[in-house]
């Protein structure tokens, strides 16, 4: 126990959450959780340790090859720290497909890991809410998922003017690729290029596109007169967008360049963007993936969902001044102790308040009462009372509102009601 440790830094690319940081994250995902529970969704979870096999066929190549934490355990098993939740969801659904009551409305909130290259300065651990509706084909299920994605942002007070939902369809893209003469691997190559379009100049995209395809699939989508299947799928998507507008979500637009990075999408795909130009990245996105559960055998189980990460959500909320405060976790009352021998009675008094649901901090240090008041201010605790021999004898407290310095006397018996009323 003798060599000094060289650094107090966390591991590279991950964050320490001091109480104020955690209260912020918790308030944010607490709001998300509350909205999802009200919508009839149930929370599930799993270990971040997953068998590596799960990621080898199903996610985008870049993630499997370059961006996972994968190692071999002492039993020669290959283990990966989950980079995303969807393969775990598919595994869990496949494992109990005979027992579960479909449709499943499931969500999971937790950490995901990506081995980002150090020079990029990006996070290697982030938090994400994954929301999925499993067991129903497109139609009402897709509409519910998009309405829910919108409801989550609105639950923070966001208006429809503050974000836009860009929607596309993989079958539409596939039909356009087919009409352009692409097949097999060249379709996947084109979709991967399209996924990077927003980060490229139009000239660079056109040049790269022309090496894959002589005809431009996006032009075929725009002018679909000569491609009836493309026209049919485009109309279906525009009808979906109109239905969403009729049902309270009027900020959905068609965007033929939205693809989503993962290979497993089979239907609708969408990404939600901040309309504030200071925050140009997608906030989150999702889509339909009807083939994933069947990778474990058995009949396909259709599914649709999305995932919402902590960093992009916080950027959006900060940009619109909508970040909820973490104050529901700060103690409501600081009980000061005039002298050290008062501590046992103060603790017992605090326990009676706690039993009534109040959050109460008790001083057990030997600092002077004036310093205890300063300590309460520093901790952001709004109310202060001293509790010692005088207060016990008179059963009366002087309560100090620290924001204003205002003081008032009140009987001990009235304190719980005052704390519950929040004043």
Q: Closer to its own copies at the Cβ: 26 or 315?
A: 26
Phi, then psi, of 121 in degrees rounded to 5: 70, 20
Determine if 105 is a binding residue for its own copies (CB under 8 A).
yes
Enter the DSSP assignment of 10: P
Determine if 74 is a binding residue for its own copies (CB under 8 A).
yes
Provide the edge-to-edge strand list for the sheet that holds 333-336. Answer: 360-362, 333-336, 383-386, 396-401, 407-411
Question: CA-CA distance, 338 to 335, in Å (whole number)?
Answer: 10
Question: CA-CA distance, 137 to 125, in Å (whole number)?
Answer: 33
Total residues in contact with its own copies, by rule CB under 8 A: 102
Among 27, 63, 103, 254, binds its own copies (CB under 8 A): 103
Burial class for 133, CB neighbours closer than 10 Å (0-12, 13-18, 19+): buried
Q: Closer to its own copies at the Cβ: 56 or 255?
A: 56
Stretch that binds its own copies, among 19-27, 193-201, 307-315, 382-390 (CB under 8 A): 19-27
Determine if 37 is a binding residue for its own copies (CB under 8 A).
yes
Length of the chain in terms of residues written = 423
Determine if 417 is a binding residue for its own copies (CB under 8 A).
no
DSSP string over 297-310: SSS---EEEEEEEH
Question: CA-CA distance, 352 to 358, in Å (whole number)?
Answer: 9
Question: CA-CA distance, 167 to 164, in Å (whole number)?
Answer: 10
Enter the DSSP assignment of 404: T
Q: Closer to its own copies at the Cβ: 134 or 230?
A: 134
Between residue 286 and residue 315, which ones bind its own copies under the rule CB under 8 A?
A: 291, 295-297
Determine if 183 is a binding residue for its own copies (CB under 8 A).
no
Q: Angle at the Cα of 412 (from 409 to 418), degrees rounded to 5?
A: 75
Stretch that binds its own copies, among 14-22, 251-259, 276-284, 303-311 (CB under 8 A): 14-22
- Cα→Cα distances 160→4, 165, 203, Å: 54, 10, 33
Stretch that binds its own copies, among 9-17, 165-173, 216-224, 311-319 (CB under 8 A): 9-17
In the complex, the smallest distance separating the C-beta of residue 341 from its own copies, rounded to whole angstroms, is: 11
Among 63, 151, 193, 208, binds its own copies (CB under 8 A): 151
Provide the edge-to-edge strand list for the sheet that holds 268-274. Answer: 42-43, 104-113, 125-134, 303-309, 282-288, 268-274, 163-169, 252-254
In the complex, the smallest distance separating the C-beta of residue 373 from its own copies, rounded to whole angstroms, is: 13
Between residue 343 and residue 362, which ones bind its own copies under the rule CB under 8 A?
A: 343-344, 347-348, 350-351, 354, 357-362
In the complex, the smallest distance separating the C-beta of residue 26 from its own copies, rounded to whole angstroms, is: 7
Q: Closer to its own copies at the Cβ: 308 or 343?
A: 343
Site string for its own copies, 184-223 (x = CB under 8 A): ----------------------------------------
Q: Closer to its own copies at the Cβ: 16 or 318?
A: 16
Q: Closer to its own copies at the Cβ: 250 or 365?
A: 365
Stretch that binds its own copies, among 96-104, 230-238, 274-282, 310-318 (CB under 8 A): 96-104
**Residue partners of 364: CB distance under 8 A and separation at least 6:** 337, 343, 347
Determine if 22 is a binding residue for its own copies (CB under 8 A).
yes
Between residue 225 and residue 254, which ones bind its own copies under the rule CB under 8 A?
A: 246-248
**Residue partners of 386: CB distance under 8 A and separation at least 6:** 335, 336, 337, 338, 369, 372, 397, 398
Question: CA-CA distance, 324 to 153, in Å (whole number)?
Answer: 12
Give the count of beta carbons closer than 10 Å to the beta carbon of residue 103.
Answer: 17
Determine if 364 is a binding residue for its own copies (CB under 8 A).
yes
Between residue 259 and residue 278, which ones bind its own copies under the rule CB under 8 A?
A: 263-264
Determine if 49 is a binding residue for its own copies (CB under 8 A).
yes
Among 196, 379, 398, 420, binds its own copies (CB under 8 A): 379
Among 159, 365, 394, 408, binds its own copies (CB under 8 A): 365
Per the listing, tokens 């067991």 go with 135
Q: Closer to its own copies at the Cβ: 45 or 222?
A: 45
Q: Closer to its own copies at the Cβ: 179 or 303?
A: 303
Determine if 5 is a binding residue for its own copies (CB under 8 A).
yes
């Amino acid at each position: 126990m003798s060599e000094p440790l060289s650094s107090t830094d966390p591991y590279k690319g991950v964050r320490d959450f001091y109480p104020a940081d955690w209260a912020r994250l918790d308030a944010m995902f607490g709001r998300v959780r509350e909205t999802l529970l009200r919508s009839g969704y149930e929370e599930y979870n799993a270990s971040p340790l997953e068998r590596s096999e799960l990621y080898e066929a199903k996610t985008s190549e870049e993630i499997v090859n370059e961006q996972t934490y994968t190692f071999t355990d002492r039993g020669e098993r290959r283990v990966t720290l989950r980079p995303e939740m969807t393969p775990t969801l598919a595994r869990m659904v496949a494992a109990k497909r005979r027992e579960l009551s479909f449709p499943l409305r499931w969500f999971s909130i937790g950490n995901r890991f990506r081995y980002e290259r150090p020079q990029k300065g990006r996070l290697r651990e982030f938090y994400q809410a994954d929301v999925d509706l499993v067991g129903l084909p497109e139609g009402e299920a897709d509409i519910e998922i998009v309405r829910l994605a919108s409801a989550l942002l609105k639950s923070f007070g966001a208006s429809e003017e503050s974000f836009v939902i860009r929607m596309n369809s993989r079958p539409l893209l596939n039909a356009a690729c087919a009409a352009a003469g692409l097949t097999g691997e060249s379709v996947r190559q084109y979709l991967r290029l399209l996924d990077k379009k927003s980060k490229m100049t139009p000239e660079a995209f056109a040049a790269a596109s022309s090496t894959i395809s002589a005809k431009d699939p996006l032009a075929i989508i725009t002018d679909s007169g000569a491609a009836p299947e493309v026209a049919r799928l485009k109309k279906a998507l525009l009808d979906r967008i109109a239905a969403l507008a009729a049902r309270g979500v009027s900020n959905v637009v068609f965007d033929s360049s939205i693809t989503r990075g993962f290979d497993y999408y089979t239907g609708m795909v969408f990404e939600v963007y901040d309309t504030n130009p200071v925050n140009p990245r997608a906030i989150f996105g999702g889509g339909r993936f009807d083939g994933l559960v069947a990778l474990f055998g058995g009949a396909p189980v259709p599914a649709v969902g999305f995932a919402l990460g902590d960093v992009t959500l916080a950027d959006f909320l900060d940009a619109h001044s909508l970040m909820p405060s973490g104050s529901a976790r700060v103690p409501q009352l600081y009980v000061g102790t005039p002298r050290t021998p008062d501590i046992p009675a103060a603790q017992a008094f605090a326990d009676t308040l706690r039993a009534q649901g109040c959050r109460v901090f008790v001083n057990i240090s030997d600092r002077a009462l004036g310093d205890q008041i300063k300590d309460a201010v520093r901790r952001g605790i709004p109310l202060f009372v001293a509790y010692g021999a005088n207060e016990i004898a008179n059963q009366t407290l002087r309560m100090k509102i620290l924001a204003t310095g205002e003081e008032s006397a009140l009987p001990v018996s009235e304190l719980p009601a005052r704390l519950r009323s929040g004043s």
